[in-house]
Structure 1
């Protein structure tokens, strides 16, 4: 089955608890920097006897779970926003961890009135639709579904936004931040889709061949389409959070795809193949008039150098490179 957004279990537990009248609290990392184990956007749902999600693990997370459960025993629990500093020498707000980063954690006790918004978030994540979560003392917990036809241009709205307070506010887009398109539906494509099903990428697979067994067997991708490679640019929107891996049946079809995608801006554009093949692709694109800067954007051979041989090993190497690029983009190095 295709991967679901990382936070879906959190919202599912929160919604089920509110429907059942069980006390439940939301933990959310609203800010993070440095080597923080809990990154901005990490969440947990906590009830008296169940948890879902994570805000970074370790002793810090254990303390927050206990604090949340203590708050849930109060008659009128109040939200709590507190910094956590992961350094032993910090004069205050020490988390008990020594990662050297920082994070701000929000404890938000959910009330029956929050069920409408929480239920809408769970449904949106399950269906793969978009929207935005907003949390603030002034307005409480809100969910703003994306209206059809009014989607923001790629990158126009930050995925996460935190305004320190008082009065503080936090907003994030829901669902998958990173989107990967694999052009080519062969054996490595199938293996890569399987790996990325655990890595919080929305995966689309495109191919121009009907009745391709590995394409038909790919139950891990969110979308699969048979297209003409000459139309590939219409299927692969540009954007700072869009990654593209080209692995068609051969050199000639790779070149067709790259001619259409190279002028567009992606976080990552790579092509699978040997160093000799990729060099020949670059030479051909340059001869066709693509600038040196445009050709230099093309990554290849793709994948971290781990002497991979099988489709599964190659997929692991490519996934590792995508992770590396993702965290470099997020400033986590």
Structure 2
């Protein structure tokens, strides 16, 4: 639901009644992840999507019915082998969709209103809703902010809200949307209730080091992918706003010095395009020991080998070097800055989503990968392993 925050905030401000359908679980090759939403107002206006088109018509009708009855409903959609024209996902996957009416007098409306306002304003917040459990609790909502007490109530046992708020806060701190199973009495034993927790956090960062022509194209690609893009270079004549109009920030500083003082997290992407050892080596020595999502460096294979030799001389371990994606980008045969930016962006998406980078034509790899295992294969150690090794070093 929070992916529709700006429009829903306007609807609520105007006093409009609406129903929102949210993907709460997926299986197989489903096109949208949990949290994807479609909303329909009292006039029949529709925004958003839950399946990319496969079941939108049926979900639209469910929203209108929820507005009429005032009752939430959980519906499952999957491919029907016996009737290919039945409502379902032609991709072969399954999705479960929670449809919740948000009328002016709906108990959950104040909490949903506060959540979408926070999301629309870019403030961190997590919305927890009951998506599976007793009918009287279905759709109940609770809001957790970055700090301060929770808002709203799920009903039932007094410990339920406290446990739900703690679980939602943990997902918010991780910047994740997902489901949590707890008991109706508030214990963390699964089997009683399933909560969908939608987290709204600031966009992840992409920091591009090196104010080169490739960086300008990559800044545009990064913005398209939803990153907050920073371009950093020590040379003020090159690091200018005029050269990088698509970047959110243009910073003049030595790359390693800026990286040491700026904020990063486990979603941050670092792209080193300088291919100059006086910049690259101190920067990568620091970057490869940080819990970030992606570290890539541009350069020829000869540059890559020379850079690795210099990094080893600086004490960078083979395990740390295993995190470095160099030469950066997938093999697309790219030549122009725009093609190169596409190549780099494609590798970032593959790393984030667990993709292989091979053509789908003729392959038997899944089209939609399990996000729980994305990034868990290959030579790259987990963030937890990196933190453990760094603390013990």
TM range (shorter): 0.7 to 0.9
Secondary structure class of the residue paired with 1:260: helix
Q: Against the structure 1 CA distance between its residues 139 and 38, is the aligned structure 2 distance closer, same or farther, given a 3 Å change threshold?
A: closer
Q: Report the aligned-residue RMSD.
A: 3.0
1:49 Cα shift? 3.2
Match of 1:198 in 2: 224
2:54 is aligned, of 51, 56, 59, to 59
Greater gyration radius:
2
Unpaired runs of 5+ residues, structure 2, are 131-136, 149-168, 182-190, 356-368, 375-393
Number of aligned positions between the proteins: 318
| In structure 1, distance between residues paired with 2:302 and 2:45 | 54
1:287 is aligned, of 310, 313, 323, to 313
Equivalent pair of 2:299/2:327 in contact (CA under 8 Å): yes
1:81 Cα shift? 1.4
| In structure 1, distance between residues paired with 2:273 and 2:176 | 29
Secondary structure class of the residue paired with 2:54: helix
1:325 is aligned, of 351, 370, 389, to 351
Match of 2:90 in 1: 98
| In structure 2, distance between residues paired with 1:130 and 1:219 | 27
| In structure 2, distance between residues paired with 1:273 and 1:99 | 39
| In structure 2, distance between residues paired with 1:88 and 1:272 | 48
- Which stretch of structure 1 is more off in the superposition, 311-320 or 12-21? 12-21
1:130-157 deviation digits (Å, cap 9, x = unpaired): 1111112378233322129xxx899964
Q: Against the structure 1 CA distance between its residues 153 and 19, is the aligned structure 2 distance closer, same or farther, given a 3 Å change threshold?
A: closer
Q: Against the structure 1 CA distance between its residues 103 and 67, is the aligned structure 2 distance closer, same or farther, given a 3 Å change threshold?
A: same
TM-score by length of 1: 0.83
TM-score by length of 2: 0.71
| In structure 1, distance between residues paired with 2:246 and 2:271 | 16
Secondary structure class of the residue paired with 1:266: coil
Secondary structure class of the residue paired with 1:98: coil
2:82 corresponds to 1:82: no
1:33 Cα shift? 2.8
Q: Against the structure 1 CA distance between its residues 331 and 293, is the aligned structure 2 distance closer, same or farther, given a 3 Å change threshold?
A: same
Of structures 1 and 2, the one scoring higher in RCO (CA 8 A, sep 6+) is 1
2:19 corresponds to 1:25: yes
| In structure 2, distance between residues paired with 1:27 and 1:16 | 18
Secondary structure class of the residue paired with 1:204: strand
Match of 1:3 in 2: none
Q: Against the structure 1 CA distance between its residues 276 and 128, is the aligned structure 2 distance closer, same or farther, given a 3 Å change threshold?
A: farther
1:212 is aligned, of 238, 243, 260, to 238
For 1:52-201, list aligned pairs within 5 A. Answer: 52-72=47-67, 74=68, 76-86=69-79, 88=81, 95-112=87-104, 114=108, 116-136=110-130, 137=137, 140-147=140-147, 157=174, 159-163=176-180, 167-175=193-201, 178-201=204-227
